Amino acid sequence: MNTPAELRCIHHGLRLSTPDARPVETALALVCSEGCRVPVINGIPRFVEQTSYADAFGIQWNAFRKTQLDSHTGTTISRDRLTRCFGGSLRVVEGNSVLEVGCGAGRFTELMLAAGARVFACDLSSAVEANYQNCNRATDYFVCQADVRSLPAARNAFDVVMCLGVIQHTPSPEETMKELASYVRPGGVLVIDHYTANYPQNFLQRNIRKLLIRLPPRVAKSLAVSLARTLLPLHQLTWKNRRGVWRLRGPLLRHSPLIDYRDAYPQLGEERLGEWSILDTNDTLTDYYKHIRTAEEIQAVLHSCGLVELEIACAGNGVEARARMPAAENQNIIRA
């Protein structure tokens, strides 16, 4: 894992490096010329404290490190979603610098690396450890633990900034979107998504979540996973077209707290469908923040950031948006 050119001290904006020019993963720290020292733990630079509102995600992605990786499932589920968000092709990242915020375990990281991107990945949680284990063999890869509100990167420096499945889980989606936009170079692209008003959540999911987010994250994860494993066999009965049993499926989907992907991703097969159901039941019941925004609200924020060529669609988990930062010669004209 190399030190990317875009890496900066979060306090001084100065370049960071290892004291003796060794690879990041074998160093004890990164330093800047003003004396700031960033610890490197398990091969990963850590720019934040080890406890935050995102702890539940770190626990989750280290427990389900490979579950959603296409390389693990043998499907194109993650690739299809990423390709759609990029406008139909991953060629936009080939040979380009990509800032991936909220990288999780790396379901999208591995795809962008395979497509020829230089990926600067970060996450607020300890999910970076799962990401590192999954992706560290790539040459143009860097990962660190950092907060989107204070990223260790140069502003206006990336060809592509992408953030999928994350913004709705931050304290202020508007602040997050503005921060993301500030790292897009002139002529570069921002790609995001966000939960919207039709986000599916039933009575039990809403109220169980209210209880679980008050508990320590490890306790909440244990309870959510136990609940999912208890309910999964009942759901699996309805996956089979047995006489009478299928009639239970409609009411079960409306009222059960288990996330059931049988109809969405039958290509996963029963074993991996169960794994995805347990993972995303935990995800939806233990996320500390769960914001909802309309397409119009997202469009207004992106427009206020000076982005152009906005493409916004209701797809995936809610709203998917793509926009471009004007080329340098056009920025003064647009602002005027």
Q: Evaluate whether 292 touches 317 at the Cβ level (below 8 Å).
A: no
Asked if residue 184 is part of any domain, the answer here is: no
CA dist 283 and 183 (Å) reads 28
Asked if residue 163 is part of any domain, the answer here is: no
pLDDT at 246: 74
CA dist 138 and 270 (Å) reads 31
Asked if residue 261 is part of any domain, the answer here is: yes
CA dist 325 and 185 (Å) reads 7
Asked if residue 222 is part of any domain, the answer here is: yes
CA dist 232 and 278 (Å) reads 8
User: pLDDT per residue over 103-147, tens digit each?
Assistant: 999 999 999 999 999 999 999 999 999 999 999 999 999 999 999
Asked if residue 73 is part of any domain, the answer here is: no
Asked if residue 260 is part of any domain, the answer here is: yes
Q: Which two three-digit tokens encode residue 256?
A: 């059960």
Scanning the structure block, which residue is given the tokens 């900066």?
8
Helical ranges in 193-268 per DSSP H? 203-212, 217-239, 249-255
- Domain that residue 264 falls in: 203-286
Q: What is the value of pTM for the model shown?
A: 0.94
pLDDT at 243: 67
CA dist 38 and 108 (Å) reads 26
pLDDT at 133: 98
pLDDT at 332: 46
How many domains is the chain built from? 1
Spans in the chain with pLDDT lower than 50? 332-336
pLDDT at 58: 98
Asked if residue 168 is part of any domain, the answer here is: no
CA dist 166 and 159 (Å) reads 20
Q: Evaluate whether 162 touches 108 at the Cβ level (below 8 Å).
A: yes
pLDDT at 335: 37
User: pLDDT per residue over 214-232, tens digit each?
Assistant: 999 999 999 999 999 999 9
Asked if residue 265 is part of any domain, the answer here is: yes
